[in-house]
């Protein structure tokens, strides 16, 4: 009764690893999307500045 069921231990470790991978991928995706949104905002601001500069020059 005190012996370890190695199949159960391996099964639980595999599913624990799968959960950690899913959580890590979720965090990575959220951070990547956030960075992309910030980058797009910076690009938009630069385009607006260039557009205003062109209107002044003309």
Chain segment 24-45, per-residue pLDDT in tens: 999 999 999 999 999 999 999 9
pLDDT at 1: 59
Instruction: Quickly list H helices, the chain.
Output: 6-57
Residue 50 has pLDDT above 80, yes or no: yes
Residue 38: phi and psi, rounded to 5, are -65, -40
Of 18, 2, 23, give the one whose Cα is nearest residue 10: 18
Tell me the average pLDDT of the chain. Answer: 93
């Amino acid at each position: 009764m005190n012996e370890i069921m190695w199949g159960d231990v391996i099964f639980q470790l595999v599913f624990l690893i799968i959960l950690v991978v899913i959580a890590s991928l979720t965090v990575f995706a959220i951070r990547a999307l956030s960075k992309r949104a910030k980058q797009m905002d910076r690009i938009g601001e630069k385009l607006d500045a260039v557009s205003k500069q062109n209107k002044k020059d003309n």
